[in-house]
Amino acid sequence: MSGEARRRRVRALVRCAGIRDELVEPLERAFVHESFAAEHGEASNERLEFLGDSVLEFITASWLYHSYPDEDEGMLTARKAHIVNDPQLARTARRLKFDEVVQLGIGMRRAGGAENESILADALEAFVAALYLEYGLEAARYFVENEHIATLDHSTDALFDAKTRLQHRAQQNAGATPLYRDENLGTPQMPKFRSSVWLEDRLVGIGDGSSKKTAQQAAAAAALAALEESGGSAT
């Protein structure tokens, strides 16, 4: 994507925060991955990502505090984790076409880095930080609440990830704890992991992901789907 096309896309993203501004160059750094920065001798989005993580968590915690006045800290914490985890952030980033504007090194792009969950989630956090620095907290809040939080499923069933649900099911039905075995199948430039989940001596699910965490979640989801399909217990 050319520089001007990228700026047009960034302007459209800024309008999602309720801001109309043609001078969006300061926000472009949010999309500079470390692989591109290393090749071109410029700053990456890592510092913005660091700040954006905290800004995103604050906005989310504030929204939850006011939206669920009767819930205790434990439930609020579960809800926050559901909102700010990498898969959810990457989902929003894909919907907003961050993959079209993120700048990657040649090797990373050829390896499919524009679809990498961690890269997209980091870019979204960096963009939130850039909004905060350039336009203030309310612009960042408007963007996060309307473009991310409002698009998620906030039902109680959606709060708990696949690993948690599988652990509860295994312990209730069999008194067993799922065991995850991980393999590294990728490279430093394009990480890929495969996780297999076992209950006692039985393989119940396999999943892939760009991190051990996401691979384990995929394996747990596969195990739950298999258990549902068989109509059996976790034993």
**C-beta separation of 31 from 98 below 8 A:** yes
CA 113 to chain centre: 14
Residue of 133, 130, 153, 137 lying closest to 13 (CA atoms): 130
Joined together, the tokens standing for residue 118 give: 């961690």
If asked whether residues 32 and 65 sit together in one domain, one would say: yes
pLDDT band at 49 (very low <50, low <70, confident <90, very high): very high
Q: Examine the residue annotation and report whether 161 is marked as an active-site residue of this protein.
A: no
- The CATH number of the domain where 214 resides is what? 3.30.160.20
pLDDT value at 159 more than 90: no
Asked, for residue 219, whether it belongs to a domain, the answer is yes
What lies within 8 Å, CB to CB, of 225 at 6+ separation is 205
Question: How confident is the model over 167-196, as a mean pLDDT?
Answer: 89
pLDDT value at 99 more than 70: yes
Question: Residue holding tokens 């620095």?
Answer: 133
Residue with the larger pLDDT of the pair 175 and 196: 196
If asked whether residues 51 and 148 sit together in one domain, one would say: yes
pLDDT band at 233 (very low <50, low <70, confident <90, very high): low
Q: What is the pLDDT of residues 212-228, one digit of tens each?
A: 988 999 999 999 999 88
If asked whether residues 88 and 184 sit together in one domain, one would say: no
Asked, for residue 42, whether it belongs to a domain, the answer is yes
Please compute Rg for the chain using Cα positions.
Answer: 20
Q: What is the DSSP letter of 151?
A: G
What lies within 8 Å, CB to CB, of 81 at 6+ separation is none
pLDDT band at 170 (very low <50, low <70, confident <90, very high): confident
**C-beta separation of 101 from 6 below 8 A:** yes
Which residue in 53, 99, 117, 161 is the catalytic one? 53
Q: Examine the residue annotation and report whether 73 is marked as an active-site residue of this protein.
A: no
Residue of 169, 165, 161, 140 lying closest to 48 (CA atoms): 140
For the ranges 18-32, 48-62, 80-94, 162-176, which has the lowest average pLDDT? 162-176
Which residue in 86, 99, 122, 125 is the catalytic one? 125
If asked whether residues 61 and 116 sit together in one domain, one would say: yes
pLDDT value at 60 more than 90: yes
If asked whether residues 105 and 204 sit together in one domain, one would say: no
If asked whether residues 139 and 170 sit together in one domain, one would say: no
If asked whether residues 136 and 26 sit together in one domain, one would say: yes
If asked whether residues 14 and 121 sit together in one domain, one would say: yes
Range of the domain at 186: 162-230
**C-beta separation of 227 from 221 below 8 A:** no
This prediction has a pTM of: 0.74
| Residue after which a domain boundary falls, among 136, 154, 172 | 154
| Alpha carbon distance 86, 34 (integer Å) | 18
| Residue after which a domain boundary falls, among 134, 154, 174 | 154
Joined together, the tokens standing for residue 128 give: 């939130």
Q: What percent of the chain has pLDDT above 70?
A: 97
If asked whether residues 77 and 103 sit together in one domain, one would say: yes
Asked, for residue 235, whether it belongs to a domain, the answer is no
For the ranges 60-64, 155-159, 176-180, which has the lowest average pLDDT? 155-159
Asked, for residue 147, whether it belongs to a domain, the answer is yes
